């Protein structure tokens, strides 16, 4: 069985998938089980402790060493910095009408984060969103999952909601 780990509710529940989502799922082998990150780690730690230890060692091998606390903090800082760039860019342009469109796609039509990012990318490139003026987006590829998460978070906040909780996720 293949375990696919994601915190995207609509990817787990097969909402409106982006072509990138579809390709990733198509490439999985055998039966597929979707889990959140927390569920996957907890399940592995409880049911397969040796596999959990092996997984931990493999992650360390991928970076060719054990990461120090400082290195983990630095990686997190870099990721947060990139996310913040996307967030600042989008926050300066996102309108209430666009936030409502994002909410409809995410909540009503069940778009994944990648599908949200691609739809926004397309709207910008086609000049359909005011205040964006066909600007170059700060994300690539068009289906950048982080961009979709940021757009959902900003839209939810504009509408007085939380993009990481129901009904958004």
Question: For 46-89, how does the pLDDT look when each residue is reduced to its tens digit (9 = 90+)?
Answer: 888 888 777 777 766 666 666 666 776 777 788 788 889 999 99
Q: What is the pLDDT of residues 13-51, one digit of tens each?
A: 889 999 999 998 888 878 888 888 778 878 888 888 888
Residue 151 has pLDDT above 90, yes or no: yes
| Position 22 in a domain | yes
Give the pLDDT score at 97: 96
Residue scoring higher pLDDT (56 or 157): 157
Query: 């039509």: which residue's tokens?
Result: 109
Q: Is 101 in the same domain as 130?
A: yes
| Position 67 in a domain | no
| Position 128 in a domain | yes
Q: Is 50 in the same domain as 99?
A: no
Q: Is 15 in the same domain as 83?
A: no
H helices of the chain, in order, are: 9-12, 19-26, 37-47, 49-62, 69-91, 96-103, 113-125, 145-158
| Position 49 in a domain | yes
Q: Is 26 in the same domain as 54?
A: yes
For residue 28, the enclosing domain spans 2-62
Q: Is 97 in the same domain as 150?
A: yes
Residue 92 has pLDDT above 90, yes or no: yes
What is the residue-averaged pLDDT of the chain? 87
User: What average pLDDT score do residues 88-94 get?
Assistant: 94
**Percent of the chain with pLDDT strictly greater than 70:** 92
Q: Is 52 in the same domain as 102?
A: no
* Domains: count for the chain: 2
């Amino acid at each position: 069985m293949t375990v696919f780990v994601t915190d995207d509710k609509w990817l787990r529940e097969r909402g409106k998938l982006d072509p990138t989502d579809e390709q990733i799922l198509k490439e999985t082998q055998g039966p597929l089980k979707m889990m959140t990150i927390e569920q996957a780690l907890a399940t592995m730690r409880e049911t397969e402790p040796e596999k959990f230890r092996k997984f931990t060692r493999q992650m360390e091998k991928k970076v060719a060493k054990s990461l120090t606390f400082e290195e983990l903090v630095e990686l997190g800082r870099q990721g947060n910095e990139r996310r913040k760039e996307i967030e600042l860019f989008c926050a300066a342009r996102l309108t209430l009408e666009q936030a409502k469109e994002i909410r409809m796609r995410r909540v009503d039509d069940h778009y994944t984060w990648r599908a949200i990012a691609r739809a926004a990318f397309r709207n910008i490139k086609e000049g359909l969103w005011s205040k964006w003026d066909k600007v170059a987006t700060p994300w690539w590829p068009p289906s950048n999952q982080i961009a979709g998460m940021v757009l959902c978070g900003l839209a939810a906040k504009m509408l007085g909601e939380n993009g990481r909780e129901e009904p958004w996720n």
